[in-house]
Amino acid sequence: MKTNSKPYQTLIFALTFLFSTSLFGQTPVKLTKLDINKLPFNIKVQGKVQNAVRWTDSSGDNIVVTSETGKYISKKAKGDDEDLANAELFAYRYIVANNEAQQTWKVYDFIKDCPLDLEATFIKNTLQVTDLNKDGVSEIWLMYKTVCHGDVSPYDMKIIMYQGQQKYAMRGRNKAKITEKEFEGGEYKLDPAFSNAPKEFIDFAKKLWNKNIMQTFE
């Protein structure tokens, strides 16, 4: 595995570790977790890096990085709008070739001009890399939530999955406990690509959704 320089290569191997995506008993894809403070190949992303992983499949040497801005006030906000806040999240996929990282896709979502509580964050421990149909091309799974509200209503929740350049999306809301016996949310909808995807993809998406369906407060 090549990096920009030999000293940096030594640092990467010292600071990274191998782990596997074994969610729901699937065949693991071996990943290297990269140091989020020292991304290789001078990769630049927006926001604060949350996860950075690397692996190899039939498409080559892959890197995925996720990042979030957290809550911030727009520089354009003035007067009555000075309390309006934004939050953004990003995911980037790169293929490494000839000692360079080329971006192949980017996911971007946001909440903007929110006067209430807001959030745009990836759900913990849901970045997954699989090869469910065993064709040598990895599936990359991202799951996140966005909201602008002042109560305990559900968040918008999404699963975005890429296999190569093909994008799949599952969109809905998580489930929030409104009263002792009353819940709201939990529904989802598959986009047309997902609806026509292999059964293994749909089953995995539903399990990932249900595993993270309940709204939690940290």
- Contacts of residue 174, defined as CB under 8 A and 6 or more positions apart, other chains included, come to 145, 154, 155, 157, 185, 186, 212, 213, 214, 215
The pLDDT assigned to 10 comes to: 40
- Tell me, yes or no, whether 50 lies in a domain: yes
CA–CA separation, 187 and 66 (whole Å): 25
- Tell me, yes or no, whether 1 lies in a domain: no
**42-to-49, 53, 166, 214 alpha-carbon distances in Å:** 14, 15, 26, 38
Number of domains into which the chain is organized:
1
Q: How many CB atoms lie within 10 A of CB 107?
A: 19
- Tell me, yes or no, whether 217 lies in a domain: no
- Tell me, yes or no, whether 30 lies in a domain: yes
- Tell me, yes or no, whether 135 lies in a domain: yes
Q: Which amino acid is at 170?
A: M
Q: Would you say 125 and 142 are in contact if contact means Cβ atoms under 8 Å apart?
A: no
What tokens appear for 208 in the block?
Answer: 């990932």
- Tell me, yes or no, whether 157 lies in a domain: yes
The pLDDT assigned to 23 comes to: 52
- Tell me, yes or no, whether 216 lies in a domain: no
What residues make up the domain containing 148?
A: 6-211
Q: Would you say 88 and 120 are in contact if contact means Cβ atoms under 8 Å apart?
A: yes
- Tell me, yes or no, whether 110 lies in a domain: yes
Please report, in tens digits, the pLDDT of each residue of the chain (218 residues total): 444 544 444 444 333 434 444 455 556 689 999 999 999 999 999 999 999 999 999 999 999 999 999 999 977 666 666 789 999 999 999 999 999 999 999 999 999 999 999 999 999 999 999 999 999 999 999 999 999 999 888 999 999 999 999 999 999 999 998 888 888 899 999 999 999 999 999 999 999 999 999 977 55
